[in-house]
Chain A
Amino acid sequence: MIRVVLPAHLRILAKTESEVQLDVGQPTIAGVLDALEDRYPALRGTLRDYATGQRRPFVRFFVCEEDWSHEPLETRLPDAVASGKEPFLVVGAIAGG
């Protein structure tokens, strides 16, 4: 069970609480995003561009106090996140002053 924390706009869109718990097949960034979109279809297209599959520029992924935004999507997550001890944070980047 992986814990995912969403930013406010996406929580409203998905009609869910701040933290969601997901059964993830492969404990990778892509695995988390796939499971998140399967559970909450309204989030499709919000984290990854439909056409390119790439992370949106102002969406960031934080893992165990590190910025994993630029890690390849197939990168395996640390055991602390894969086990649910630490959350996978989806963050809307500060932008615009």
Chain B
Amino acid sequence: MSGVRVLAGTRKGAFILTSDGKRENWEISGPHFPGWEMYHLKGSPVDPNRIYASQTSGWFGQQMQRSNDGGKTWEPVGNKFVYDGPTGTHQWYDGKPHPWEFKRTWHLEPSLTDPDTVYAGVEDAAIFRTTDGGVNWAEMPGLRNHSTGDRWQPGAGGMCLHTILLDPGNPNRMWIAISAAGAFRTDDGGTSWKPINKGLHSEYIPDHTAEIGHCVHRIAKHKSKSDTLFMQKHWDVMRSDDAGENWHEISGNLPTDFGFVIDVHAHEPETIFVVPITSDSHHFPPEGKLRVYRSRAGGNEWEPLTKGLPQSDCYVNVLRDAMAVDSLDKCGIYFGTTGGQVYASADGGDSWKALVHDLPAVLSVEVQTLP
């Protein structure tokens, strides 16, 4: 029988939750790397036993871990993230030039075809790549050297490259998102990048429709539809049907369009999920009710999903990399909270249960669907 493996990165270690295809009973292992901030763990689509993990610390910097046995054992691999060539400057919070400084790896995106190739999104914003299983990392400098790079500014969480999307149909195409520079796309394998922020409207920047400067929180896409993208921006839920060239708002009847996560149903490309958060000053759900909102129409028309989720006195947040879907039938949806819960739905979002209640604050959630 097939199964699932949930990879949860938290403020104080990593946890691995496993179940068979019924997704009723769960085994939990961890903490792996106790005491370290585990920003992201993700498995190779080619080899599910190959998992990469970003391990960071305010004291001891960045580590990168690799498992070849599905997370049972780990080995440290390369942690040398050095920008390619002169770093130049970006804008600091006060608008003054500030040199690029590597801080941590936010997101790991393993190749769709090669278990030894992984892309890493880092803070200060840049994209790195390994082709030897994480031993050596090299920057793909075309992004950071974009002509707008000296105008990029950090969001409240730092100037992080937090989203990397690969295109199953075109190995030369890739999308990334940076807080708070916006979204970019490459069509030549990462040599050159293009800002794709047309249609975004952000009142917190002087030119509300500027080419760059938008605080994109997350982008998601369905593997079968390469031109359709969904975005949770700082405020506004957005959609593009031309690979990011143009965006339009699909917030519709959401109670608030602020939030961090967004994801797409594994089998229904027009079914999407968000978790509305009250505002950028109130990082908790409206009315103390934790609600996932689902749209079966690709946006605009949203329904609250509440069964099994706390509907009073709930003041957690759901961070941008903390939602994922499995590809079982029915599709499973998973998300983690800053209160240490990992919630799962095994029926496409209709009902939910907490797989675990009391982890450290959850930074990221990924799911592997196992054969």
Number of A-B contacts (CB under 8 A): 46
Q: Are B102 and A9 in contact, CB atoms less than 8 angstroms apart?
A: no
Interface size on B, residues (CB 8 A): 17
Stretch of A25-33, A48-56, A81-89 lying at the B interface: A48-56
Kindly supply a per-residue 1/0 record for chain A positions 20-53, scoring 1 wherever the CB is within 8 Å of any chain B CB and 0 otherwise.
0000000000000000000000101111011100
A77 within 8 A of B: no
Q: Are B102 and A13 in contact, CB atoms less than 8 angstroms apart?
A: no
List chain A residues, Cβ under 8 A from B39: none
List chain B residues, Cβ under 8 A from A95: 58-59
A59 within 8 A of B: yes
Q: Are A51 and B60 in contact, CB atoms less than 8 angstroms apart?
A: no
- Size category of the A interface is 10 to 19
A7–B60 CA distance with the chains assembled, in angstroms: 10
Q: Are B76 and A13 in contact, CB atoms less than 8 angstroms apart?
A: yes
A10 within 8 A of B: yes
B57 within 8 A of A: yes
Q: Are A92 and B76 in contact, CB atoms less than 8 angstroms apart?
A: no
Kindly supply a per-residue 1/0 record for chain B positions 57-96, scoring 1 wherever the CB is within 8 Å of any chain A CB and 0 otherwise.
1111111000000000000100111110000000000000
Q: Are B60 and A92 in contact, CB atoms less than 8 angstroms apart?
A: yes
A62–B302 CA distance with the chains assembled, in angstroms: 59
Q: Are A56 and B80 in contact, CB atoms less than 8 angstroms apart?
A: no
A59–B57 CA distance with the chains assembled, in angstroms: 11
User: Closest residue of chain A to B77, judged by CB?
Assistant: A42
User: Closest residue of chain B to A47, judged by CB?
Assistant: B60
A34–B257 CA distance with the chains assembled, in angstroms: 52
B79 touches which one: A7, A45, A47, A96 (CB < 8 A)?
Answer: A45
A49–B58 CA distance with the chains assembled, in angstroms: 12
Q: Smallest Cβ distance from A28 to chain B, in angstroms?
A: 22
A93 within 8 A of B: yes
Q: Are B59 and A44 in contact, CB atoms less than 8 angstroms apart?
A: no
Given contacts A9-B35, A9-B36, A51-B102, contact A45 B80 (CB under 8 A): yes
List chain B residues, Cβ under 8 A from A56: 59-61
Q: Are A93 and B80 in contact, CB atoms less than 8 angstroms apart?
A: no
User: Closest residue of chain B to A48, judged by CB?
Assistant: B61
Which residues in B have some Cβ–Cβ distance to A below 8 Å? 35-36, 57-63, 76, 79-83, 101-102
Known: A56-B61, A93-B59. 6 other contacts (CB 8 A): A10-B60, A42-B76, A46-B61, A50-B79, A58-B58, A92-B60
